[in-house]
Chains A and B, each alone.
Chain A
Amino acid sequence: MKITKETKIDLFTRMVKVRTFEDQTEKIFMAGKEMPGFLHLSQGEDAMAVGTCANLEINDAIYTTHRGHGCIIAKGADLKPMMAELFGRIDGCCKGRAGSMHFADVKTGCMGSNGVVGEGMRLAVGTAFAQKYNKTNNVTAVFFGEGATGTGSFHESFNMAATLKLPVIFVCSINLYAQMTHKSVHIAIENVAERAAGYGAPGVTIDGNDVELVYEEVAKAVKHCRAGKGPYLVEGKTYRHYGHYIGDPCNYRPAGELEEWMKKDPVVLYEKKLLKEGVLDAKGVQQVKDECKRLVDEAVEYARKSPQPEIEELYKDIFA
């Protein structure tokens, strides 16, 4: 598969956008006053989000996890309401009711992050059923971590999607940990993708830090799904730079592990690659970064100006 120059720049731009948003979010959260609750950030897993979503159209659906900002940005959601949501403000995409963990932006096909590990997979099956039933030729991608493969949700959803031949792309980001617990403690096999065979579907394991590779593999999955052949599993090996949540002391990580993975930072790797290939020059790279910074700064400004929800908001959208 030949990836065009436009696509390369698009992949890079989306990754920088994700990364800039996450980095800025981390700073504001750590400063302590403006962002309530807790945050699970996705720096390090940017290539999985971007490589997947770059294959999707606006009417395709995604489901994400508690670590879902990157996927939602990559899918095309506007940064302003996202940032306002993290501030708990009324102009947030969910009117300040959701926060980081329950982000949704239905108009761009972001059907929800989830606070309940694995649950997005069950909902994805239903969305894919509707896509098939209505012959829209759309697909549903569902993101999850390796921890979620321990849930019944994973096995049951995969089996159901396979038996009903539904267009679900299962995207598993292996970031080595479920909270503080290493993958080897709760998964008895090396590659989760092997499990797909047990349900009669294809599964591949790839380097999740190589955005072009993710893009190419998910392209195959999308084609498979659009052709009505049922679900497909893409497993990418990656890493979360900041631990489980922001503030995680990460005392369970072996010495040197983070440093090794930082050498494989997907955004840095891709920048180098594009420079080397001459797709972008240093100025071009800087332009992308400046533009993303401008967008994120605007989003922060927007969030800061947005009012707190009024008490009357409490009883809207609840009918029982």
Chain B
Amino acid sequence: MAVREITCSQAIAEALAEEMERDDTVFILGEDLTSNGGIFCQFKGLPEKFPGRVIDTPISETSIVGSGVGAALTGMRPIVDMHFADFVTTAMDEIVNQMAKIRYMFGGQAKLPMVLWAPDGAGISAAAQHSQSLESWLVHTPGLKVVVPSEPADVKGLLKAAVRDDDPVIFFQHKRLFKQTGPVPEEPYVIPLGKADVKRAGSDITLITYSRMTYECLEAARKLAEQGIQAEVLDLRTLKPLDFDLIARSVKKTNHVVVVHEACLTGGFGAEIAARIGEELFEHLAGPVVRVGAKDVPVPFSPVLEQYVLPQVEDILEGVDKALKRQRQVLFIPRAANVR
């Protein structure tokens, strides 16, 4: 298959163009979409290509999501644009009480095929109300699928799967990855939700991560390799459904785990992973499951403070150190040598 390098923004536009071409029930609803193809140019070309299907609304995330739900109930496939993930706050009833629950509450009478697309993450001095990573809130709400991709190829394949899914999908796109390039196949393809991906194989420790932190983990892994430590980098890609099988396979091989995310530490998704590994893979752990996340403060404007708040490669290395240093004093830990 032919492959070329494109950005995440281009991957988004391509995925949506293909899906809108394929299925005329797909449309996009949000603020400021048509004048420049979205504030991150993520929908570039779509307003011209699909007139009447990329719709500028008044500033009301509440109504954008709510009307998305109403349209999805009739079988349409809306993509609702949140502008910034931070603004899910202004549509929390629509997301949590309506979108997430309707399919179940109705006894399955209707499907709810919609995507809530939301750029998240920090690192651009956008301060506390434009820098959050809020995936844990939504993972904690039964009924929502949650996608957190890193590289452009995954963005494209997962977004297409999200559009085709009959359940509501929250699609978080990290702001600092819009310009990230990566190889993407020319031919159309779909990546199923709920499948993690090994971005780098290794045998000594597993770094479980997602979204932008995948790149930081890969950098940490390169540094670790220089010290003779082979880290496996597992990009979850979707948090719900969660690919625990792949996690288990990796942990059984390495016996050591660090979970890394940009969201703040307390109550973050790392806690969920650590708990599940503790419950289900206890025998395979040679050390503590260490979590690396942002400091528990609102993201400050000052670049010096912001940098300190967000997990850096050094923090990941420190986490690895912690995980490897505190070995369990047990006689035998099963180690699956040949599992991938």
Contact = CB atoms under 8 A, between A and B. Distances in A.
Interface of A: 36-38, 85, 88-89, 94, 96-99, 101-102, 114-118, 147-152, 178-181, 185-187, 251-252, 308-309, 311, 313-315, 318
A318 B36 CA distance: 39
A201 B297 CA distance: 41
Given A38-B124, A180-B39, A308-B302, 18 more contacts: A37-B126, A37-B127, A38-B126, A88-B301, A96-B305, A99-B127, A102-B127, A115-B129, A116-B86, A116-B129, A149-B58, A151-B60, A180-B35, A181-B35, A185-B56, A186-B57, A314-B300, A315-B297
A37 B56 contact: no
A309 B56 CA distance: 40
Interface of B: 31-32, 34-36, 39, 56-60, 62-63, 86-87, 89-90, 124-130, 295-298, 300-305, 308-309
A96 B298 CA distance: 13
B129 A101 contact: yes
Given A37-B127, A150-B59, A150-B60, A314 B295 contact: yes
24 contacts: A36-B301, A36-B302, A88-B301, A88-B302, A97-B298, A98-B128, A98-B301, A99-B125, A115-B128, A116-B89, A116-B90, A116-B129, A148-B59, A150-B57, A151-B60, A152-B63, A179-B35, A179-B39, A181-B34, A252-B36, A309-B305, A311-B305, A313-B305, A314-B308
B302 A96 contact: yes
B303 A36 contact: yes
A180 B36 CA distance: 8
A96 B301 contact: yes
Given A88-B304, A96-B301, A102 B129 contact: yes
Contacts of A152: 60, 62-63, 90
A252 B37 CA distance: 12
Contacts of A311: 304-305, 308
B302 A309 contact: yes
SS class of chain A's interface: helix, strand, loop or mixed? loop
Nearest to A99: B301
Contacts of A251: 36
B124 A37 contact: yes
Determine which residue in B56, B129, B305 has the highest number of CB atoms from chain A within 10 A of its CB, and name it: B305
A179 B32 contact: yes
A178 B59 contact: yes
Nearest to A185: B56
A180 B40 CA distance: 12
A97 B126 CA distance: 10
Contact of A97 (B31, B32, B128): B128
B62 A147 contact: no
Contacts of A114: 129
B305 to A, nearest CB: 6
B305 A252 contact: no
Nearest to A147: B59
Nearest to A145: B59
B31 A179 contact: yes
Given A97-B302, A116-B87, A318 B297 contact: yes
A314 B297 contact: yes
